[in-house]
Structure 1
Amino acid sequence: MEEGAYEVSSVLPIVTSAQGASIMRNRVLLAVVAAAALGLTLAPLTASASSHREAPLIAEDPLADNTDLYTFQAPDNPNNVVLVANYVPFENPAGGPNFYRFGDDVRYQIHVDNVGDGKSHVTFTFRFHTSTVDGTTFLYNTPYVRNGALTKQIAFDGAKYLGWNRPQSYSVSVSRIDGEDDSSNAVLGSNLLTPPDVVGIASTGDAAYYHTLANAAIHNLPGGVTVFAGQRDDPFYANLGPIFDILTLNPLSATGGEDYLNNQNVHSIVLSVPKSMIKGPNDSVIGVWATASRRQETVLSSTPPFKASDGNWVQVSRLGNPLINEVVIGLGQKDLFNAARPASDSQFLPRYQNPLLAVYFNVLFGQGVDTTNRQDLVDILLRGVNTLNRPAQWSAFADELRYNMDVPSFGFPNGRNLTENVVDTELNAFDGAFCGFGGVIPSCHAGANAGQLHQGVSQDSDHPTAQSSFPYLNDPNMP
């Protein structure tokens, strides 16, 4: 492991012994008791999930597709919380000639509910702008003269990237209302640079050179805020082929599967903000989700500028808790879910109470887990666990990634970190592994192998750790 890189000691491992479920329960119970002894209200359980191409409409709009959301205490600054929203799924490192970028016509937002009503009380908004330096070439970067010599490798001169033919910049603003009116936002930073994508040795150098190139796009803003927006290694890993081939997994084997996101990249928005900036009036529990919105009207033309957008903003993607739109929401409601606000999530309550995934577990794996009245899932995913991370003034079922900022450890459902085995924990949660934990999670009849299910892949050489310093996500994979 890289010196200083962090693992998640607070995350409960998925075990394979016959006493697997019992061991998981005992560890969670100990964590709850320890938190209570410290006067805290939350202890972590484990993992979370991903949202790559999860609904019909957003599958056709990758620039607006929110793939993952992470929330955790900054490992190098205990006074800050890190918020990460990933977009643009399945970026092949050799995806030239245009490679990848954030959408200039997309409004990207990270929302914080610090009250418990399902509404955004602190909203960070990002808008991007892309320009073309030399429109006569098809190249992503172009040769230029530096220090009297012709060079073709992109470089940073302290103010801008030299030789990058498609530079992108952005602004970030913060609002303390419901986040709908851009005019109310206070600008935190503008004309902030994103780094170029990884292209190859000749264009963006070796791993060490690119690391320096990308770190030039880390921006320290007023008020203790740090921001980065650009290409990163996708930290999510999953045995996607069998999972969506009617769960043709060997669910009791931790190996034998394939990570279908190995060597894939994403575009990440990473914020490190002081806890005091987003803390609510009643407690330190926050609920986080990310969205992408487009203008209501799009006009295409056969002459420049070829495409124009106008009208009100319309939300087209959102992500809070793990795997919700993948395996909880039915196909007929997936686009509706992406367009809905968390405050209206009570309309989806039956999907949590009566999860179809539990039915499949019983049919395919003979689990015998309860398929109705799953209040354990409602608590974990829609309102927070009592005495753990339910807001003191909770008032709305809402799909939010909840995090109690008074707890230094992190791991789902108390936030989400970058190295968790996201799918394994979701499989076990729906199989009832958390039912009755510590007397704070409602009981259910758990599956025969609850606490022992696996997707067949684990963390591998593509992303063994996270970086120990901002922006924490690893540099993107090279072609």
Structure 2
Amino acid sequence: MSDHISGPRALADPIADITDFYAFPSPDSPGRLVLVMNTLPMAKPTDLFSAGLLYRFRLRPLSAPAAGSTSGVFVPGEEEVVLDCVFDSPEHVTDPETGRPDHEQHGSCVAPGGEEVTFRVNDESGGAGGGVRVFAGVRWDPFIMDARAALATIATRKLAFTEDGSIFLDGKNVLSIVVEIDSGLLPGGMLVGVVAETLTRGEFNVRIERVGRPEVKNMMLAPKDFDQVNRDLEIRDLYNMEDAFHLGESYYGAFRARLDANLAFWDCLDGKRHWPLGEDGSHPLTDLVLADYLVVDPTLPYAEQGSFLEIELAARRGEPHQTCGGRALNDDVMDALFTQLVNAGHGPTIRDGVDSASRPATSTFPYLVAANPDPPEPPEHH
């Protein structure tokens, strides 16, 4: 489910669970990049953000892959722009319409120039200053995928998608943070790598979750049955602790072994091998998956379909990219991802049977649509 419930720690502390991450040029304000971090799967309309968390966006310039490389992996630079959002403890207030007790929350985000931008949670106008605009509040979860069919595919080892799929998360809510940043404040270079993180707040920050691309943890790292090296290892919490731009050496081999095995599983679901393995069993996509950040060209205009992975795949072919890359809210990225995993784009599109949300995102700030006031109850965990 994109990055919903992506490991034991996320299940234990869902307030820190990043469910999704998006980055795209603003369709409403040219010259701005939009960053969206969604948290707390299946949020209630009254839920608020944690005052004990740091919600962070990190942006780094990217250089072209090394000469002769076909991995599609760009090289992150050392320069970094960081946007940190934090929230106060909720205040007890009285609802002016009903007279009932209620809660109100305020937050702030530090712009790259150091200016503190303040805002009130669930205020659609948000706050602005220092070249950024910020919204935070409960919104309709925009992620689209037939999650049950995807899990059935892994369990049965056969493609289980149908023409008429269902969105498992349809009608459920998330806590969203939306940041628009002027392109002039971005790190230098045409391409930017972007990642979202939640960390403990205080003098010592511990990374709890980090997200770049969708379904890396749940569809590519979670399954254990195909990994002959680390079959008993729940690897996702270890992966979350890593720096997306600089993976450490301690678990690097474990991540590679899990991805080599699971990517090979996805590749053979149509009965053919489209991604030839290396002599050591390495999968051609493993390096690209481990470079787990969205790649965006903010100089190109907003594109709603076909931009996800386009920059990386063009680099693999040694061709210039044509789109802004990144990930837009309404982009059906799972069809694009499953197609690459199963047939490398050399066969029919692998559709999961859902193409759009029942309430698509808008083209104006804050982009995500209003929360469902009566969301379906979350399923029980057994």
Q: Which category describes the TM-score, using the shorter chain as reference length?
A: 0.7 to 0.9
Does structure 2 retain, via aligned residues, the 8 Å contact 1:355–1:371? no
C-alpha offsets along residues 150-193 of structure 1, whole Å, 9 cap, x if unaligned?
A: x317xxxxxxxxx6621111111145xxxxxxxxx824313x21
- 2:16 matched to 1:121? no
Q: In 2, distance between residues paired with 1:220 and 1:326? A: 35
- The residue number in structure 2 matching 1:266 is 174
- The residue number in structure 2 matching 1:328 is 220
- 2:37 matched to 1:130? no
- The residue number in structure 1 matching 2:327 is 416
2:26 is aligned, of 46, 63, 74, to 74
Does structure 1 retain, via aligned residues, the 8 Å contact 2:43–2:138? no
Q: Unmatched 5+ residue regions in structure 2? A: 63-74, 223-232, 310-324, 375-382
- 2:54 matched to 1:107? yes
Q: In 2, distance between residues paired with 1:279 and 1:352? A: 33
Residue 242 of structure 1: CA displacement?
Answer: 2.7
Structure 1 stretch displaced more, 266-275 or 236-245: 236-245
- 2:194 matched to 1:288? yes
User: Any residues of structure 2 matched to 1:162-181 within 5 Å, and which?
Assistant: 165-174=102-111
Does structure 2 retain, via aligned residues, the 8 Å contact 1:252–1:454? no
Q: Output the amino acid matched with 1:269.
A: I
User: Any residues of structure 2 matched to 1:123-202 within 5 Å, and which?
Assistant: 123-133=82-92, 142=94, 144=96, 151-152=97-98, 165-174=102-111, 186-190=114-118, 192-195=119-122
Does structure 2 retain, via aligned residues, the 8 Å contact 1:110–1:289? yes
Residue 240 of structure 1: CA displacement?
Answer: 1.4
Q: Assess, with a 3 A threshold, how the Cα gap between structure 1 residues 124 and 81 changes in structure 2: closer, same or farther.
A: same
Structure of greater Rg: 1
- 2:179 matched to 1:220? no
Residue 230 of structure 1: CA displacement?
Answer: 0.7
C-alpha offsets along residues 183-239 of structure 1, whole Å, 9 cap, x if unaligned?
A: xx824313x2112xxxxxxxxxxxxxxxxxx42x4222233x211011111110121
Q: Unmatched 5+ residue regions in structure 1? A: 1-48, 94-98, 135-141, 145-150, 154-162, 176-184, 196-213, 296-309, 383-397, 435-445
1:240 is aligned, of 139, 147, 160, to 147
Residue 55 of structure 1: CA displacement?
Answer: 1.1
User: Any residues of structure 2 matched to 1:436-451 within 5 Å, and which?
Assistant: 450-451=347-348
Q: In 2, distance between residues paired with 1:332 and 1:371? A: 27
2:240 is aligned, of 309, 327, 338, to 338
Q: Which has the higher contact order (CA 8 A, sep 6+)?
A: 1
Identity %: 26
Q: State the TM-score, normalized to the length of structure 2.
A: 0.76
Residue 470 of structure 1: CA displacement?
Answer: 0.5
Does structure 2 retain, via aligned residues, the 8 Å contact 1:71–1:81? yes
Q: In 2, distance between residues paired with 1:421 and 1:311? A: 40
- The residue number in structure 2 matching 1:370 is 275
C-alpha offsets along residues 447-476 of structure 1, whole Å, 9 cap, x if unaligned?
A: xxx34212222214x22x321211111111
For this pair of structures, how many residues does the alignment match? 326
